[in-house]
Homo-oligomer: A and B are copies of this chain.
Amino acid sequence: MAIRTVVWGENIHERINKAVAELYPDGMHQTIANALNADGAIAATTATMQEPEHGLSQERLDNTDVLVWWGHRDHGGVDDVIVERVAKRVYEGMGLIVLHSGHFSKIFKRLMGTPCALKWREAGERERVWVVNPGHPIAAGLGEHFVIENEEMYGEHFSVPEPLETVFISWFQGGEVFRSGMTWRRGAGNVFYFRPGHETYPTFHQPEVQTVLQNAVKWAHNPIPPIKAVLEAPNVPVEVALEPIVERGAKLHEAGEDGYK
């Protein structure tokens, strides 16, 4: 079965900024979804901020294998209830791919536990994306590096936790570097951050970028059944301990009582 993928788009600058609208007349989310659907293993649809529940109802998320997230203009406008809902689905096993300015999205900061801050410069300069982990599935089919001729600069220090693996590092014309592709696991969910994708440039039309996105969706897909009990902290009664033990000492909880949360 194809990987059920939802591309979430903030969908603001496409509607209010002429340059963005010309590059992405159907919205960035649609361009990304089209690129993903060019891979037969992926079945991508879109959701936007303006839809009810931002297009991310519980039912829809329950039927989503991988969520791709692009936002920029109004991170604060995303409902906290939806953020927690997405986080829980990640813990259960849904993959999450965060793009570019999504570094400051509520969901990314929520899962990283850090500020996720960085330096930036909007000058359309050259970015050269280097593969530093050529055996990683997200780098499949790429050469040693690829060039994005016009991009926004993001510079270190990028305040995220040390990743499981670093896949890409970018060189910028103006003198900066950036860890542009990194992976983490949160619960059973695979998380990938990918740096490129400023809305005033045609980045998401570029073939190498589309290859990365396809690879990332396939890498992030965790086929195991959802781990629904992810927020639970079950008591294991003495009577059913795996090895026979006898209760000793004082205790706080009566039999069958819940723990404190």
Residues of A within 8 A of B (CB): 13, 17, 19-20, 72-76, 91, 93, 101, 104, 110-115, 117-125, 128, 130-135, 137, 140, 144-145, 150, 153, 155-159, 161-162, 164-166, 169-177, 179, 184-189, 199-201, 222-224, 227, 230-238, 241-243, 245-253, 259-261
Alpha-carbon separation in the docked complex, A54 to B162 (Å): 31
Contacts of A120 in B (CB 8 A): 233-236, 259
Q: Chain B: which residue is nearest A87 at the CB level?
A: B113
Which residues of the other chain, B, contact A188 by a CB distance below 8 angstroms?
A: 134-135
Chain B: which residue is nearest A118 at the CB level? B233
**A6 CB → nearest B CB, Å:** 20
Answer whether A156 and B177 are a contact pair too, CB < 8 Å, given A121-B235, A161-B185: no
Task: Kindly state the separation between the CA atoms of A155 and B132 in the bound complex, as whole angstroms.
Answer: 9
Tell me which residues across on chain B come within 8 A of A227, comparing CB atoms. Answer: 134-135
Q: Pick the contact of A164 from B125, B164, B176, B249 — CB < 8 Å?
A: B164
17 A-B pairs in the complex with CB atoms less than 8 angstroms apart: A20-B250, A91-B159, A115-B230, A120-B235, A121-B238, A123-B248, A131-B156, A131-B157, A132-B177, A134-B157, A134-B227, A161-B186, A169-B177, A171-B177, A175-B243, A200-B250, A201-B250
Residues of B within 8 A of A132 (CB): 156-158, 177, 179
Check A104/B73 contact, CB under 8 A, given A162-B165, A243-B174. no
CB distance from A205 to the nearest CB of B (A): 14
Known A-B contacts A135-B93, A135-B227; A233 and B119 likewise in contact (beta carbons under 8 Å): yes
* B residues in contact with A93, CB < 8 Å: 135
Q: B175–A241 contact, CB under 8 A?
A: yes
A187 vs chain B, min Cβ distance (A): 6
CA A61 – CA B186 in complex, angstroms? 29
CB-defined contacts of A140 to chain B, threshold 8 Å: 223-224
- Could you tell me the distance in whole angstroms from the C-beta of A1 to the nearest C-beta in chain B? 16
A134 contacts which chain B residues (CB < 8 A)? Answer: 157, 188, 224, 227
Q: Are A245 and B174 in contact (CB under 8 A)?
A: yes
The answer to whether B166 and A164 touch across the interface, beta carbons within 8 angstroms, is no
Q: Which residues of B contact A230 (CB under 8 A)?
A: 115, 117, 159
Given contact pairs A157-B134, A177-B171, A19 touches B104 in the complex (Cβ within 8 A): no
By beta carbon, the residue of chain B nearest A175 is B242
Tell me which residues across on chain B come within 8 A of A243, comparing CB atoms.
173-175
A113 to B155, CA, bound (A): 24
Q: Which residue of B lies closest to A255 (CB)?
A: B122
